């Protein structure tokens, strides 16, 4: 198999997309009566792909990679995201398919994007992705990968869909926050808010824990 | 001044919103060339309100309320969000106005929504709010409020815009994660992903810190 030539992705054109022609996202106008009885409106962006069975758009996999001889770490993915024309740093994530549970989607997507089998350790309640603007929602599924002495540092083979180009980086948990800050300073890179907030919360507890009695 | 009668907000109708009629959000079609040279397209939802000066849509205020006699706490806001037809639990947040810095917007919005003057302790890099779907971005501004012995538990007066109805709840930092989980189980309530992820990261460090050497 010949490895495809890689080049920097580039936006060739953008145009206003009429709602009636959009396949993946849509705009809705919501008319509502507020707390005082006043009639108001709100503009909402939605995904058109939500699986009815789960009632949730997506899962993100907060992951811990354990190895007998290495520091506990996490895998983040770096990929070109056309909405931002930049490479984002995120935890692996994906949309939930029809008939799938959040757990199933997490294990499947983690295997596809990262290559490891994982164990689910917790599933969060439903969270609102960007509540001022959209009804997109997600669950954070925490997963663990237990490697053995024999497992090297090389990551297993990914099973990506056509058009997916996902770089994986293993980062020790104690270095995660600092690495995210450094990536943010890099050219054409932006960290996803959910991952950044988790890392910031972890760092806050580690650094300010004594001061604030955490 | 008569306090306005409050009632449960209710959606009276929703309709597809043509892109050409939308004032706050829009849809764009991005044509791009990927890493292999293949021509691809992506559908993107955007805000139309980004201030050119800051280049960032919004700020969220991760806040710590300090009082000599009380446990370190944070204020979250609960408000009806028409996109979700639910009450969201979030950190106070707002859009950055033209000519404003992220810091300025954070101090202004915190005063408006919460009523306290605050001090900025850190400003995050730009983060992507929901990178698979939109180019919306934000900065997390950490702020601190230092109260005196004389300050009671009652919160100061808010300065809300017409149509804003924002409930404030002060939560000790050590209880934040558990409270978010409990709220998520409540009727018509959903926690915003950014706040949930920060709290989950804090809880992870507190509870799993020893196990993972954090």
Interface with B, mutate which of A68, A91, A113, A130 (most B CBs under 10 A) = A130
- The alpha-carbon gap from A136 to the nearest alpha carbon of chain B, in Å, equals 8
What confidence tier does B187 reach under pLDDT thresholds 50, 70, 90? confident
- The alpha-carbon gap from A182 to the nearest alpha carbon of chain B, in Å, equals 9
- Hey, is A179 helix, strand or coil? helix
What confidence tier does B199 reach under pLDDT thresholds 50, 70, 90? very high
Asked if A131 and B38 come within 8 Å (Cβ–Cβ), the reply is: no
Q: How many CB pairs under 8 A join A and B?
A: 362
The whole-chain average pLDDT of chain B stands at 93
Asked if A82 and B40 come within 8 Å (Cβ–Cβ), the reply is: yes
- The pLDDT score that the predictor gives to residue B3 is 54
Look up the ipTM and state it.
0.95
Asked if B27 and A17 come within 8 Å (Cβ–Cβ), the reply is: yes
For chain A, 214 residues long, give each residue's pLDDT as a single digit of tens: 445 667 899 999 999 999 999 999 999 999 999 999 999 999 999 989 887 877 899 999 999 999 999 999 999 999 999 999 999 999 999 999 999 999 999 999 999 999 999 999 999 999 999 998 999 999 999 999 999 999 988 999 888 887 788 999 999 999 999 999 999 998 899 999 999 999 999 999 999 999 998 8
Averaged pLDDT for residues B151-175 = 90
Q: In angstroms, rounded to a whole number, what is the distance separating the alpha carbons of residues A183 and A2? A: 30
- The alpha-carbon gap from A42 to the nearest alpha carbon of chain B, in Å, equals 6
Asked if A124 and B196 come within 8 Å (Cβ–Cβ), the reply is: yes
Averaged pLDDT for residues B105-111 = 97
Asked if A130 and B130 come within 8 Å (Cβ–Cβ), the reply is: yes
Q: Is the pLDDT of residue B163 over 50?
A: yes
CB atoms within 10 A of CB A49: 14
Q: Which chain B residues are Cβ-neighbours of A195 within 8 angstroms?
A: 197
List the single residue in B with minimal CA-CA distance to A84: B135
Higher-pLDDT residue of B180 and B133 is B180
Q: Which chain A residues are Cβ-neighbours of B47 within 8 angstroms?
A: 133
DSSP H helices, chain A, are 102-113, 176-185, 193-212
Q: Is the pLDDT of residue B188 over 60?
A: yes
- The pLDDT score that the predictor gives to residue B92 is 97
Q: Which chain B residues are Cβ-neighbours of A42 within 8 angstroms?
A: 82-83
Buried/exposed code over A2-11 (b: 16+ C-beta within 10 A; e: otherwise): eeeeeeebee
Q: Is the pLDDT of residue B1 over 50?
A: no
- The alpha-carbon gap from A121 to the nearest alpha carbon of chain B, in Å, equals 12
Most confident stretch, A6-10, A50-54, B6-10, B114-118: B114-118
Crossing angle (nearest 10°) for helices A193-212 and A176-185: 130
Q: In angstroms, rounded to a whole number, what is the distance separating the alpha carbons of residues B8 and A174? A: 45
- The pLDDT score that the predictor gives to residue B6 is 79
Q: Is the pLDDT of residue B161 over 90?
A: no
8 Å CB contact between B120 and B107 = yes
- The alpha-carbon gap from B151 to the nearest alpha carbon of chain A, in Å, equals 19
Asked if B205 and A200 come within 8 Å (Cβ–Cβ), the reply is: no
Q: Which chain B residues are Cβ-neighbours of A19 within 8 angstroms?
A: 16-19, 27
What confidence tier does B54 reach under pLDDT thresholds 50, 70, 90? confident
Asked if B31 and A12 come within 8 Å (Cβ–Cβ), the reply is: yes
Kindly list the structural domains of chain B, giving each domain's residue range(s) and its CATH number in brackets, ordered by start.
46-209 (3.90.79.10)
Tokens of B173: 């930092």
List the single residue in B with minimal CA-CA distance to A188: B126
8 Å CB contact between B16 and A27 = yes
List the single residue in A with minimal CA-CA distance to B24: A43
């Amino acid at each position: 198999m010949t490895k495809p030539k890689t080049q920097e992705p580039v936006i060739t054109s953008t145009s206003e997309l009429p709602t009636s022609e959009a396949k993946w996202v849509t705009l809705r106008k919501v008319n509502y009566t507020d707390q005082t009885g006043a009639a108001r409106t709100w503009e909402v962006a939605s995904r058109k792909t939500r699986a009815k069975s789960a009632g949730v758009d997506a899962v993100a996999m907060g992951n811990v990679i354990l190895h007998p001889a290495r520091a506990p770490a996490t895998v983040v993915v770096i990929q070109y995201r056309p909405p931002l024309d930049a490479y984002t740093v995120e935890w692996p994530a994906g949309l939930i398919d029809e008939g799938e549970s959040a757990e199933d989607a997490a294990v499947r997507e983690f295997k596809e994007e990262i290559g490891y089998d994982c164990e689910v350790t917790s599933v969060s309640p439903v969270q609102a992705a960007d509540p001022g603007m959209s009804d997109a929602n997600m669950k954070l599924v925490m997963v663990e990968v237990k490697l053995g002495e024999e497992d090297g540092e090389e990551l297993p083979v990914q099973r990506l869909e056509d058009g997916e180009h996902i770089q994986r980086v293993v980062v020790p948990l104690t270095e995660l926050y600092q690495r995210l800050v450094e990536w943010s300073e890099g050219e054409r890179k932006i960290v996803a808010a959910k991952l950044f907030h988790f890392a910031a919360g972890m760092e806050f507890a580690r650094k300010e824990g004594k001061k604030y009695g955490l």
